[in-house]
Amino acid sequence: MNIRKKLPALDVTAFEDAPCFIVAFYTALGWNPDNQALDPRLIKMHPEMWNYLCGQLIALGGRAAGLGWMNFGPSADENGEYRLDKHEIKILKGAFTDVSKRIHAC
């Protein structure tokens, strides 16, 4: 699976905290937290939007929220390899992997 999707239309301020936003972000992209592992390094987004969302999360929950995005958010396509527009996401093969054991999320 190598697909492009629109950036999920989620309002950061509508969430209680950064982890809940991050889970909702990936769920909107098609991740099922109940039975799929997630590799955020295999999800790419435009660097301008990555920085915008990071700033929004810092405003929501401080530096820790920004660090959460840096560690668990998607990767910014810094070198333009995927030629993404600002509102586009690239999901690479292996980003969502089925697992047999149930995983619990927000």
pLDDT at 101: 64
In degrees and rounded to multiples of 5, residue 103 shows phi and psi of -115, 135
Tally Cβ neighbours within 10 Å of residue 75. Answer: 15
pTM (2 decimals)? 0.89
Q: What interhelical angle do 47-61 and 63-72 show, nearest 10? A: 140
For position 106, what pLDDT does the model report?
A: 64
Minimal CA–CA distance to 40: which of 1, 72, 11? 72
pLDDT of residue 100: 73
Give the model's pLDDT for residue 104: 64
| Distance (Å, whole) CA 80 – CA 77 | 5
Please, which residues bridge with residue 97 across strands?
A: 37
Which pLDDT tens digits describe the chain residue by residue (106 residues)?
689 999 999 999 999 999 999 999 999 999 999 999 999 999 999 999 999 999 999 999 999 999 999 999 999 999 999 999 999 999 999 999 999 766 566 6
